[in-house]
Amino acid sequence: MIGRVVPETVARAEAFDDALPGLPDPRELALLRGQPEAIVRRFAAARSCAHRCLDQLAVPPGPLLRTPDGGPKWPPGVVGSITHCAGYRGAVAARADVWAALGVDAEPALPLPRGVLDLVTTAPERRMVAELSRRSPEVPWDRLLFSAKESVYKAWHPATGRWIGTRAIEVTLTADGLLTALVRPERTQPPRARQRSAATGDGVPRPMGGAYPYRGRWDTGDGLLLTAVAVPGVETAGRPDARSAARLSV
């Protein structure tokens, strides 16, 4: 399933249970000391997917620990993203010169709890969800929109170190599986401790009119929703088809 939402040159792995191909790294398990067994097993299964991605990239083995912000600490020169929800664990990774930032998110294919949509979306997004729901009611578009925002944030935050709220991420979804998003940092006034300078450098798309554009794909099946975005790296950005490559997985 994950292969349908990321470019071909992105390493990917997924699992639909917590069965492990090998023993987890004890240094990773130490991050969850004292946590319930179910959380540890879910963490280990997701980390196993991430290690399978690193194996595909021929990265030397080693523990995948945490950054100070709590995200996965990928090896130097590698970017990636990990996701898990009920019945699904997945990960993607790439060399940073090929894809400068990645974000992936999985969600159950169920509507959001009542009231959540209004909290996390803008009025144009709610109108989009209403129209798409009228045309394709079998898709929980509200949850899909939330998932797309999560994927964008997972690409944005590791590259910038800057927290943004969900309304600072403006998403457009199409019925044929594409998603685009504009990050508008000025819509968020983060707590003083989280404030950062304007986004610059590797992993951040070139701004357009003050907003940062992201592109990706979404898919649904087997009771799951999956979204992903990819920011081209220096090797990909110069290609004539970089825009479509960022959106298409096959």
CB neighbour class for 34 (10 Å; exposed up to 12, middle 13-18, buried from 19) = exposed
Contact in structure between 44 and 29 (CB atoms under 8 Å):
yes
d(CA 137, CA 122): 21
Instruction: Report residues of the chain scoring pLDDT below 70.
Output: 189-201, 238-250
> pLDDT per residue over 173-220, tens digit each?
999 999 999 999 888 765 544 444 445 457 888 888 889 999 999 999
pTM: 0.89
Give the domain extent around 222. Answer: 2-247
Question: What is the tally of structural domains in the chain?
Answer: 1
CATH number for 238: 3.90.470.20
Looking at residue 179, what is its pLDDT? 98
Looking at residue 235, what is its pLDDT? 83
Looking at residue 243, what is its pLDDT? 41
Looking at residue 203, what is its pLDDT? 84
